[in-house]
Chain A
Amino acid sequence: MVSLELLLAALSMAAPIMIAALGELLLERTGRVNLGVEGMMAFGASLSIMVTSISGSPAMGLLGGLVGGLIIALVYVAAALALKIDQIVVGLLIVFLGIGLADLLAAAGHTIAPALTPWSPTHVTVIFLTLAAPIALWILLYRTWAGVEIRAIGTDELAARERGLRVDLARTIAALAGGVAAGVAGAYMALTLYNGKYFSGLTAGWGWLAIGSVILGFWNPIGVAIAGYSIGLLILLRPYTISLGVPSYIAHSTPYIAVLIALIIVSRLARSPRWKPPKTL
């Protein structure tokens, strides 16, 4: 039943969750959280379809998604980081704002574009980057000075400020990187998973699953990548639960139920003194 093909298909399915989760992870390591992943993904998806439709190139579309995510992340930077409005509030507002703007953009008429064919060179590149990103992030966080600074900021903001670390700069860069990642993730969903189409509600809660992955992966890049991949695998395996006699309504809720259960386990673990997550959620 479990074949290499299935595992690869799961990777292609999980890629957007993994990408978005890794972006969010970086921000959370600086001690800030942006709950607006879903909105940044939606706007990235919409802009990517528009760009692809006009340019004819899905690779350009991915770039469009990147810019889309970046634009919405700027709202977070301005409101939550600069003006210090409650980051939770700003994050949730960004969800609605991003989806609203995405739908409005789509209303201009570009909702269909050439798809990013699975296992085409561009797609393979994205998948490769998705696999390389957690390793790169791990090196950044644990093997560079910048990483030490980021972790210091995330663990104790005041101490970091006293030591003269550029807290706001680090957070701004991390938030923008998170936006870029979410935008690319949204673009990937529209271009690959939905064969080059944008429609309202496209992100289907996957941005939230990405945020869940950050916690499940316990704020560790490798862990987050594994968590994101597992959720993708679960989505792909969802139909299999039916043959175990599970009613359809539970089967269709599996990713959400799984995240809930995983949250319970991780939250318990987080209480034990051996673990120290950054102070975000």
Chain B
Amino acid sequence: MQASRRDFLKLSGAGALGLVVGLAGGYMAWGARPPPPLQVPVEKKIKALWIYVGPIADVGWTAAHHEAKESTVRLFGGRLEAKHVEKVSEGEAKKVIETELTRERYDAVFATSYGFKYAVSELARDFKDVKFYHCSGEWEWEGFKGLPNVSTYFAEFYQLYFLNGVAAGAVTKTCKIGYVPAFLIPEVVRHINAYALGAVYGAKITGNCGAGEKLEVYVKSPLLAWFAPDKAKADAMYLVDKYDVDVLAFTEDTTAVLDVAEEYMKKGKRVYSFSHYNDMFAYYKRKGITLESHLTGQIANWTPILVYLLSKLYMGFYEKEDVWARLGDFTPVRWAGKPEESLAGKPEGSVYLAELNTKVIPPPVIAEIKRLYEEMKELLYEPFTGPIKGYKIDENGRPQEDVRVKVREGERVGRDALWYMDWFHEKIISPV
């Protein structure tokens, strides 16, 4: 993937192709604001279909995909025709996509839920001239093997969760931080571990909580639903009321947990939380509310990934590939910059930190977050570097063994171990 993207830049550097240059030019200018739409005459159009699992109004996962779709259409300036179907359940996905594909001609289908994988795998066989892009990036999966028209993409958050953890470990006064998970699947487990590792790091550099010794991470038993604001709310309140947790991270598709933190804040109890997938701080700001409880958070901007994939398709350079976007990917400059010039906390690339709360996070910690953020772009700093101790868990988060070494001294965890992670960091107390 890395190589193919470099090829792509080389192509655009050659300047032979107007569109690619235009879009790549847009890339270079990509910072806080997206580039203006292309002003090149339209020669041909491509048509793409987006399938969403949730409602556009969720302010989370689906909202992020929808906004990216809209801005990609804008950027393509009339070259891309797009349609979307929201709230498609996994069982219906195949029929929904099939019906659309037989009714109209599409060049590309973006299936934005891991649950659509069977549908994509089966339809890709029947519709050979349609390119399928499956979001969740399970590149290794057997069902996608040998299908040249299926690509995968994903925006990975573990680095950002580590940085969230650094902020959490630095600001916690009770030395207890919490997490409300939807399911304890490897993706969420990986994020929780990164958050715990970051919190220990943050406490260590500030000397907080006995330099991290006394820190505890409380993981709530899973919600068993991606979308469950009522349960998420009750669980978040529980972590605060029963365990005196004062920083709450979560995986749930709404603002419910952040709302709970804000409510406590208004009542004079210090509780912090984060943005998830979408910049919820900015979302509330647009509504005229400035959140006090918002520390930072993990945000996905799918637009650069979509622009990259679709311009290749438009120009006829399609190739089967997997995009696993981490920090530094899809940014104009892909190496570690100076911390003081870092854009940490501002839009950049396809995964970035939400606005850093400088009122609460001490300046040296902000500086450290920026330094780590930059180093992570070149993988100079990897959160999952040994020694790390932990214990295996089941799907309820219950320990299955005693704490033992999970990553040896000096070892770095590769993609497979990240991708199928089934253990919790030793500081995690689970399930509560």
- A contacting B, Cβ–Cβ less than 8 Å: yes
B48, chain A: closest CB distance, angstroms: 22
**Cβ–Cβ < 8 Å partners of A195 in chain B:** 255-256, 259
Query: In the complex, which residue of chain A has the Cβ closest to the Cβ of B180?
Result: A239
Q: How many whole Å from B62's CB to the nearest CB in chain A?
A: 11
Q: With A1-B242, A247-B396, A248-B431 in contact, is A238–B231 under 8 Å at CB?
A: yes
With a cutoff of 8 Å between Cβ atoms, the chain B residues found around residue A200 in the complex are 55, 87
Residues of B with C-beta under 8 A to A251: 221
**Which stretch of B222-230, B300-308, B323-331, B414-422 is in the interface?**
B222-230
Q: Is A204 an interface residue (CB 8 A)?
A: yes
Complex Cα distance A247/B431, Å?
A: 10
When distances are taken between beta carbons in the complex, the residues of chain A under 8 Å from B222 are 248
CB <8 Å contact, B287 and A240:
no
Asked if A112 CB lies within 8 Å of chain B CBs, one says yes
Q: Mark B31-75, 1 if CB is under 8 A from A, else 0.
A: 000000000000000000000000101110000000000000000
- Distance between Cα atoms of A97 and B223 in the complex (Å): 29
Least CB distance from B238 to A in Å reads 4
Rounded to whole Å, the gap between the CB of B241 and the closest CB of chain A is 7
Q: How far is the CA of A236 from the CA of B234 in the complex (A)?
A: 5
Known contacts A197-B57, A248-B221: does B287 contact A239 (CB below 8 Å)? no
> B223 near A243 (CB under 8 angstroms)?
no
Are A199 and B432 in touch, CB under 8 angstroms?
no
Residues of B near A259 (CB, < 8 A) are none
- Are B238 and A240 touching (Cβ within 8 A)? yes
A204 to B223 alpha-carbon distance, docked (Å): 14
At the interface, yes or no: A223 with Cβ under 8 Å from chain B?
Answer: no
Q: Knowing A242-B432, A243-B432, A248-B224 are in contact, say whether A235-B230 is a contact too (CB < 8 A).
A: yes
Q: Which of A193, A239, A240, A252 has the most CB of B within 10 A?
A: A239
- Report which of A197, A198, A238, A252 forms a contact with B224, defined as CB distance below 8 A: A252
Contact with A along B229-265 (1 / 0, CB 8 A): 1110111011101100000000000111001000100
Is A118 interfacial (CB-CB < 8 Å)?
A: yes
Chain B residues with Cβ under 8 A from A243's Cβ?
242, 432
Residues of A within 8 A of B256 (CB): 194-195
- Is B131 interfacial (CB 8 A cutoff)? no
B396 touches A112 (CB 8 A): no
A248 to B183 Cα, complex, angstroms: 10
Cβ of A88 within 8 Å of any chain B Cβ, yes or no, is no
Instruction: Name the A residues within 8 Å of B237 (CB-CB).
Output: 9, 236, 239
B220 interfacial contact with A, CB 8 Å? yes
Taken residue by residue from 235 to 266, chain A's Cβ proximity to chain B (1 for < 8 Å, 0 otherwise) reads as 11011101100011101100000000000000
Verify B238–A239 contact, CB threshold 8 A.
yes
Report the minimal beta-carbon distance from B190 to chain A, rounded to whole angstroms: 20
Query: Residue on A with the closest CB to B395?
Result: A248
Rounded to whole Å, the gap between the CB of B55 and the closest CB of chain A is 6
Question: In the complex, which residue of chain A has the Cβ closest to the Cβ of B243?
Answer: A243
CA distance A194 to B263 in the complex (A): 12
- Whether B432 lies near A252 (C-beta < 8 A) is no
Residue from A5, A13, A114, A249 in contact with B287 in the complex, judged by beta carbons closer than 8 Å: A114
A184 to chain B, nearest CB (A): 18
Please determine whether A112 and B287 come into contact, CB atoms closer than 8 angstroms. yes
Please report the C-alpha to C-alpha distance between residue A12 and residue B55 in the assembled complex, in whole angstroms: 27
B234 engages A235 (CB within 8 Å): yes
Residues of B within 8 A of A193 (CB): 229-230, 233
Which residues of B373-426 are within 8 A (CB) of A?
396
Give the distance in Å from the alpha carbon of A150 to the alpha carbon of B288 in the complex: 48
From 153 to 197 in chain A, residues with beta carbon under 8 angstroms from any chain B beta carbon are 193-195, 197
Q: Bound state CA distance, A238 and B237, in angstroms?
A: 11
Asked if B233 and A239 sit within 8 Å, CB to CB, the answer is no
What A residues does B223 contact at CB under 8 A? 252
**A117 to B262 Cα, complex, angstroms:** 11
User: Is A129 in contact with chain B by the CB < 8 A criterion?
Assistant: no
Question: B383: shortest Cβ distance to chain A, in Å?
Answer: 27
Instruction: Give complex CA distance A243, B59 in Å.
Output: 31
Q: Which residues of A contact B287 (CB under 8 A)?
A: 112, 114
Complex CA–CA separation, A204 to B228 (angstroms): 9
Interface pair A199/B224, CB less than 8 Å apart: no
Q: How far is the CB of B310 from chain A (nearest CB, A)?
A: 27
Q: A6 at interface (Cβ–Cβ under 8 A)? A: yes
A194 and B241 form a contact (CB under 8 A)? no
Quick check: is A111 within 8 A (CB to CB) of the other chain? yes
Compute how far the CA of A193 lies from the CA of B239 in the bound complex, rounded to whole angstroms. 18
* Residue in B closest to A9 when the chains form the complex, CB atoms: B237
Minimum C-beta distance from A254 to chain B (A): 11
- Chain B nearest CB, measured from A6 CB (Å): 7
Pairs A–B under 8 Å by Cβ, sample size 24: A3-B241, A13-B234, A111-B55, A112-B57, A112-B59, A112-B287, A114-B287, A117-B266, A193-B229, A193-B233, A194-B229, A194-B256, A195-B255, A195-B259, A197-B57, A197-B59, A197-B254, A199-B254, A235-B230, A235-B234, A239-B237, A240-B242, A248-B222, A252-B231
Closest 9 CB pairs of A and B: A239-B238, A111-B57, A248-B221, A242-B221, A195-B259, A239-B235, A248-B396, A248-B222, A204-B230
New contact pairs (17) apart from A112-B59, A199-B55, CB-CB < 8 Å: A112-B57, A118-B263, A194-B229, A195-B256, A198-B57, A199-B57, A200-B87, A236-B237, A238-B231, A239-B221, A239-B239, A243-B242, A248-B222, A249-B224, A251-B221, A252-B223, A252-B224
